[in-house]
Amino acid sequence: MSTTDSKTDHHGEGVKRRDFLFVAAGGFGAVGAAIAAWPLIDNLNPSADVLALSTVEIDLSKIEVGQAIRVKWRGKPVFVRHRTPEEVAAAKAVPLSDLVDPQTDEERTKPGHEEWLVMVGVCTHLGCIPLGVKAEDTKGDYGGYFCPCHGSHYDTAGRIRKGPAPKNLEVPVYTFLNDTRVRVG
């Protein structure tokens, strides 16, 4: 074996060691950066109190026919109304051509649960809270909800019928867990 061959072998081993050191240092650097960045990334996750507000479960068994309640969800009022058969029939009988924001009653309720109306109780005009949840509240010209701030009238399906509001009351994402419980959010 010549002296040049031993230098080449020795030089080749040096390159291998150097490559290993570069890869190992890079790996340690990447792990260190990830460890340093994790608290910053984890801080962006929603806090426990925000997650707790993301959904709300409502017991429907305590709401009598013709009664409505108001619950808080994500800092907003949500109206849950147990509509009478007459209110359901009145909502279904409205021609879409009479509506400012055309939506059928079926689009605003869940199949098999048409008697339950779940809506965000914030007027779509300027964000006031309409009346109509309490028995003594003014329900407007259409028997649903009335916003006293600027005179918007909503029907028994929460659809705008008269006044300056441009849209129907919002229907949030909700799911019936069973016949007596609903989850909003």
Question: 95 and 33: one domain?
Answer: no
**pLDDT higher than 70, residue 180:** yes
Question: 128 and 166: one domain?
Answer: yes
Question: 14 and 54: one domain?
Answer: no
Mean pLDDT of the chain: 86
pLDDT at residue number 12: 61
- Using a cut of 0.75, tell me whether the model's pTM lies above it: no
**pLDDT higher than 80, residue 146:** yes
Q: Would you list the DSSP string of 148-174?
A: TTTTEEEETTS-EEESS--SPPPPPPE
Query: Active site includes 82?
Result: no
Structure tokens of 64? 């009598």
Catalytic residue among 10, 125, 150, 153: 150
Question: 34 and 62: one domain?
Answer: no
Question: 18 and 90: one domain?
Answer: no
Confidence band, pLDDT 50/70/90 cuts, at residue 173: very high
Lowest mean per-residue pLDDT among 31-45, 48-62, 155-169:
48-62
CA atoms within 13 A on the CB side of 162: 12
Question: 124 and 167: one domain?
Answer: yes
pLDDT at residue number 72: 92
Q: Chain centroid to CA 37: how far?
A: 30
**Structural domain for 24, as ranges:** 1-45
Spatial contact of 138 and 132, defined as CB atoms under 8 Å apart: yes
Domain count, the chain: 2
Q: Cβ neighbours of residue 118 under 8 Å, at least 6 residues apart?
A: 78, 79, 80, 81, 171, 172, 174, 182, 184
CA atoms within 13 A on the CB side of 52: 3
| Span 37-60, pLDDT tens digits | 888 887 777 776 666 667 889 899
Question: 84 and 158: one domain?
Answer: yes
CATH number (domain holding residue 169): 2.102.10.10
pLDDT at residue number 1: 47
Question: 147 and 91: one domain?
Answer: yes
